[in-house]
Amino acid sequence: MQGSSAAGGATRGIDAFGLLARFAPVIFLLVLMAVFATLSPAFLKPLNLFNVMRQVSVYGLLAIGMTFVILTRGIDLSVGAIVALSGLAAALVAKGGLESRFAVGVDTAAQGYGWPLALLTACAVGTLAGLLQGFAITRLKVPPFVVTLGGMSAFRGLALLLSGGGPISGFDDGYRFLGQGMLGPVPVPVVIFLSAAVIAHVVLGHTRYGRRLYAVGGNPEAARLSGLDVDRLTLSVYVIIGCLAGLGSFVLSARLNSAEAVAGIGYELTVIASVVIGGTSLFGGVGTVFGTVIGTILIGVLLNGLQLNNVSSYIQQVIIGVIIVLAVAFDTFAKSRRRRA
């Protein structure tokens, strides 16, 4: 009887819902891939799969940064605008100004300052934008939603002002390589995205800084009472997402061979969806970079599969919006279960 009771206790001890919550993104991704492979034989072709990964690389870089932000109970609605501003700043450096904005060729490329400086400029502009917003959040005590909503408008306006309302296009081979090049069979943007994901995973999961971020997200007041500098940690995550947005803007402009002020419109929705679907809680303190990578790929697979099946882009936006609501509802329910337990 005692053995039977122990076995029953062990069975009851298995949290089926917890296991489902942990592996739901991976399960959903595999199911989606199986469905789309059945509906469209072209879906599983290597060319299409690499195309999916190339398309999600920019979203993925932003989503990695958003993971840091959401872990601390924050949000950043300005990432799309930062992408536009940083990309235009990089393009101006690469082209040497607006005078040769549409020029293409070796002679005109020589008028600029080279892609390495352009890349540094993109990351610097993104970092500065994140620093300014982090300062407003931590020092002026303005809620992240309000700060980044204002930043979304301000940075988009600066992008329009910087570009004169038009695109800047026609970059040299070195610039375009980071968006269009290949390392063996793998697109360079995919290598950049996955490299950033590995670094972020190590930082969050295996460093003191990462543990402190989880502590801040779990309970900011308890973290403050334990001696952590909550404001500095909060400021740092906005610097990180700004820097990654700058890197993403460079990759995007290199892939499109053009930078413009309308770049990144709507990215906020896709990026937040990727993070939340990947299991990062909007309430802070819970989430992983691995989950974010899965969520990003899931969104890419979903959009690609819908496109292959000729589903309207309007319906695609509806589906993403519904998925975000369901993911947050699932997260809220999971959190309430953990509290009761």
In one-letter notation, the amino acid at residue 97 is G
Per-residue H/E/C for 293-333: HHHHHHHHHHHHHHHHCCCCHHHHHHHHHHHHHHHHHHHHH
CA distance 218 to 339: 13
Distances in Å between the Cα of 208 and the Cα atoms of 68, 212, 228, 229, 331 are 14, 6, 11, 13, 26
Compute φ and ψ for 249, nearest 5 degrees.
Answer: -65, -40
pLDDT confidence band for 259 (50 / 70 / 90): very high
pLDDT score of 315 more than 90: no
Q: How much is the mean pLDDT over the chain?
A: 87
pLDDT score of 10 more than 50: no
24-336 in CATH: which number?
1.10.3470
Supply the pTM of this predicted model: 0.88
Tokens 């989606």 locate to 32
Please tell me the predicted confidence (pLDDT) of residue 115. Answer: 93
Please tell me the predicted confidence (pLDDT) of residue 8. Answer: 46
pLDDT confidence band for 15 (50 / 70 / 90): low
pLDDT confidence band for 338 (50 / 70 / 90): low
Evaluate whether 304 touches 43 at the Cβ level (below 8 Å): yes
Summarize pLDDT for 69-82 with one digit per residue, the tens. Answer: 999 999 999 999 99
